[in-house]
Structure 1
Amino acid sequence: MDSIDLEVLKTAAGWIGAGHRCELITVIKTWGSSPRPIGATLAICDDGRVVGSVSGGCIECDLIERVRQSGITRTVPEIVSYGITADEAHRFGLPCGGTIELAIEPLSSASTIIDLLERLDRHELVARNLKLQTGEVTLSPAPAGAVQQIADGVLTTIHGPRWRLFIIGAGQPSRFLAQVATAMDYYVTVCDPREEYRAGWQLPGVQLVHSMPDDLVIEARLDHRSAVVALTHDPKLDDLALMEALKSDAFYVGAIGSRVNNAKRRERLKEFDLNDEQLARLHGPIGIYIGSKTPSEIAISILAELTAIKNGVPQQLRVKHADGQA
């Protein structure tokens, strides 16, 4: 399962390879309320096909209609705005008078899409630098935490896995969690030293390693864009990973299990010289309560909690939301 960003790029590359003209549309600025965030992308083909999204659908309809009526005629990028007036906001379905600014870029074989996809396949974080005046494109490595920006007439977009997720255990819940996380721009690594659990694991785009969990966590040098989730139910494996992860800068560290089992886990972890502040960072029971029972529901619950924390949702709001689903 690809992220939306990757799906847009792959589809555009296919259109170019088939001899079609197409354009890449990127959200570069928003004011007020807007349906899609900065960096959201959409590709449109000369026959009206689209992939991706830059709004709730109304702006897409306008872009498609313009292509159907006039074709794709741009030779250099163009910045366009929707929703500046109240009438436009109503017409294009932008809530609360929101305004959205888009960069529309005609694509060709010189647009580095194939090169970009090759780098993304190597799990690189890449900055794509587009000169708005000429359409010239260059690629360069992007530092962790880089964000999209426009400076000196160059639009720099960031592509690749923005976040890292380390899953301890290669069981069924891990499979679902890895699939969905990959689509959410996480680079996922699954660690399980147990050969019987690794057998038959086939999930493209997900790295499977058989080292001991604590060794993996130490070698990974976790930063504030990293998360660790322990799913084996085996203290000999889960605790090793948690012991090191709780000492790191990871934004999320969690373990599956009941409240009773997690209380026991905290007592065990105290023996590893973890202080109260470090232990307080452990999420368990893991996930936001949605009444989940199946592996797929558990995965959704975990990723909901990761997303809330990543997006800065306060604890009291997460608890209130969970209570409302009880």
Structure 2
Amino acid sequence: MDSLDLQVLTQARQWHADGHPVRLVTVIETWGSAPRPPGALLAMRGDGLVVGSVSGGCVEDDLIERVRAGESMNKPSLVTYGVTKEEAARFGLPCGGNLRLVQEPLNDVAWIDEVLARTARHELVARRLDLATGTVTVEAATRGEAFSFDGQVMRALFGPRWRMLIIGAGQLSRVLAQMALALDFEIICCDPREEYHLTWDVPGTTFSTTMPDDLVQELQLDPHSAVVAVTHDPKLDDLALLEALKSPAFYVGALGSRGNTAKRKERLALFDLSAEEIGRLHGPIGLDLGGRTPAEIAVSILAEIVAVRHGVALSQKKPLSHDAPSCQASS
């Protein structure tokens, strides 16, 4: 579940506290080119005010119209949009896409309190809704799970399904951490250097002064983990990379020029790493977006990480024959 959906729950809770009727709408199934994935969440106030999204806008307009027309709702119900080509065109679902939703009245916010409290502790939780009774429970979840609906029970995930370890606490790391939080990553920044860790001030992240290679082992990186090394200090970066490249982490990258990356790979080859493991290193890190500032470099790094996460070919990587300097290849 996108971490931004936590903002939807926060707003829904506030509306409920203010005495407004509130309903939640969740995407449970899509066909064709429906614009929002299963699990996408929207909250609607009784006067039609909305937060969140389940489509590109036309479906939201219809849902708002229903609320303002006085449509009542006492228990969860299913609604489908775009069954015919005419409906798909009307609701802005491209290429005949179809969208199936669950609507439910928000009668109790205790489960929202629990979800927000547990995700604030970096826990991954599942919200379980029984459509027949409207009963909601919150239970622990694991990173390998996904949104599910079996026709009777909906199970939606909240919290960080992905984890990013950032080695180094400089300016780039701060911007990278802030952006990655919005992409559903739990952020751990590691830097044992006192002059750096004393000034780390990114809310919602965890900071560690443990040596990076020790922390990589402690975290037991899994296929939902990414490691980004940006200190420019081989004593910190290389030792962490040595451990990370042997792990199941889906992404391991390091800041540096093509020349420095080649030297780094030569150093790594002196240890017990195979050529295949060394080949997993993304360096120079990031896609070639032509940026120079810390924010632009962070965007290029995150663009590459998102592409790798979704199995998309890295067509924007800087070719090896290109000798012009770039932000992702700085040293």
TM category (shorter chain) comes to over 0.9
Is the Cα–Cα contact under 8 Å of residues 147 and 156 in structure 2 kept in the other structure?
yes
User: 2:103 maps to which residue?
Assistant: 104
Cα deviation per residue 1:66-119 (whole Å; 9 max; x = unaligned)?
Answer: 212216x21111110111111111111100010000111111225611111111
Structure 1 residues 4-43: aligned runs within 5 Å: 4-43=4-43
Residue 318 of structure 1 deviates from its aligned partner by: 5.0
User: 2:140 maps to which residue?
Assistant: 141
User: 2:217 maps to which residue?
Assistant: 218
Residue 314 of structure 1 deviates from its aligned partner by: 3.0
Q: Distance in 2 between matches of 1:173 and 1:188?
A: 14
Q: Distance in 2 between matches of 1:30 and 1:59?
A: 13
Residue 200 of structure 1 deviates from its aligned partner by: 2.4
Is the Cα–Cα contact under 8 Å of residues 111 and 136 in structure 1 kept in the other structure?
no
Which residue identity is paired with 1:277? Answer: E
Structure 1 residues 113-192: aligned runs within 5 Å: 113-151=112-150, 153-192=152-191
Is the Cα–Cα contact under 8 Å of residues 23 and 45 in structure 1 kept in the other structure?
yes
User: 2:3 maps to which residue?
Assistant: 3
Residue 144 of structure 1 deviates from its aligned partner by: 2.3
Q: Does 1:279 align with 2:274?
A: no
- The change in CA–CA distance for 1:109 and 1:321 in structure 2 (over 3 A counts) is farther
Residue 37 of structure 1 deviates from its aligned partner by: 1.1
Q: Distance in 2 between matches of 1:38 and 1:23?
A: 18
Q: Distance in 2 between matches of 1:50 and 1:127?
A: 23
- The change in CA–CA distance for 1:322 and 1:75 in structure 2 (over 3 A counts) is farther
Cα deviation per residue 1:246-303 (whole Å; 9 max; x = unaligned)?
Answer: 0000000000011011011111111222111110000000011100200001111111
Which residue identity is paired with 1:131? Answer: D
Is the Cα–Cα contact under 8 Å of residues 3 and 160 in structure 2 kept in the other structure?
no
Give the number of the structure whose residues are more often helix, by fraction. 1
Is the Cα–Cα contact under 8 Å of residues 3 and 158 in structure 2 kept in the other structure?
no
Which residue identity is paired with 1:125? Answer: L
Which residue identity is paired with 1:12? Answer: A
Q: Does 1:249 align with 2:248?
A: yes
Which residue identity is paired with 1:60? Answer: E
Q: Which residues of structure 1 form unaligned runs of 5+?
A: none
User: 2:269 maps to which residue?
Assistant: 270
User: 1:60 maps to which residue?
Assistant: 60
Q: Distance in 2 between matches of 1:226 and 1:321?
A: 26
SS at match of 1:108: coil
Q: Distance in 2 between matches of 1:37 and 1:293?
A: 33
Q: Distance in 2 between matches of 1:203 and 1:322?
A: 35
Residue 148 of structure 1 deviates from its aligned partner by: 1.1
Q: Which runs of 4+ in 1 moved over 6 A?
A: 320-323
Residue 199 of structure 1 deviates from its aligned partner by: 2.2
SS at match of 1:124: coil
Cα deviation per residue 1:41-80 (whole Å; 9 max; x = unaligned)?
Answer: 1111112211111111111111112212216x21111110
Is the Cα–Cα contact under 8 Å of residues 28 and 102 in structure 1 kept in the other structure?
yes
Q: Distance in 2 between matches of 1:51 and 1:110?
A: 17
TM-score normalised over the length of structure 1: 0.94
Which residue identity is paired with 2:231? Answer: T
Structure 1 residues 294-313: aligned runs within 5 Å: 294-313=293-312
Which residue identity is paired with 2:44? Answer: I
Q: Distance in 1 between matches of 2:18 and 2:230?
A: 44
Q: Distance in 2 between matches of 1:111 and 1:318?
A: 46
Is the Cα–Cα contact under 8 Å of residues 166 and 229 in structure 2 kept in the other structure?
yes
SS at match of 2:69: helix
Q: Distance in 1 between matches of 2:178 and 2:34?
A: 28
Q: Distance in 1 between matches of 2:113 and 2:319?
A: 43
Cα deviation per residue 1:112-133 (whole Å; 9 max; x = unaligned)?
Answer: 1111111111111111110001
Which residue identity is paired with 2:261? Answer: N
SS at match of 1:242: helix
Q: Distance in 2 between matches of 1:177 and 1:236?
A: 22
Q: Distance in 2 between matches of 1:292 and 1:92?
A: 38
SS at match of 1:70: coil
Q: Distance in 1 between matches of 2:260 and 2:318?
A: 24
